Amino acid sequence: MVQALTEVMTPAPRCLDSSDTAADAARLMREDDIGDVFVCVDGRLHGIVTDRDLVVRALADAQRDPRQVRLADISSTDLTVLAPDDTVDEAVELMRERAIRRLPICENGRPVGVVSIGDLAIARDSASALADISMAPANA
């Protein structure tokens, strides 16, 4: 059975403006227990910032204040994007080829969901170790 991404994606991804700061993204990630935030300009997807990006691109540089670092300066902008009606198989293939862990799901350039490698593990093999980890409650 072919599964559309709309069946496995997390809808309503969290977005911030490109002028928001690394501290804003960190706060949102903590509040919503998520590991990524989409960076948008006029409601359209422009980039993505992950928890790792915050550490490597903002916090690890002692010269930078996370309250001053703009998301536009630390976001990944070379994005691979799929649509809600694309398939899980297509997502798996792209994630494998490009070694990415999260895929923005967009309609007309606007983010409507996100699919993570954990989501795909659950969809493909709910008994796998990665699926178990992905379904486990978050660490407090």
User: Which CA distances in Å does 6 have to 87, 105, 112, 122?
Assistant: 9, 9, 9, 14
Domain boundaries, the chain: 5-135
For the domain covering 5-135, report its CATH number. Answer: 3.10.580.10
Q: What angle do CA 29, 106, 94 make, to 5 degrees?
A: 90
Per-residue confidence at 121, pLDDT binned at 50, 70, 90?
confident
pLDDT, tens digit (0-9, with 9 covering 90-100), for 101-120: 999 999 999 999 999 988 88
Sheet containing 44-50: which strands, arranged edge to edge? 15-17, 36-41, 44-50
pLDDT, tens digit (0-9, with 9 covering 90-100), for 14-67: 999 999 999 999 999 999 999 999 999 999 999 999 999 999 999 888 788 889
User: Which CA distances in Å does 63 have to 17, 32, 37, 58, 137?
Assistant: 23, 28, 23, 9, 35
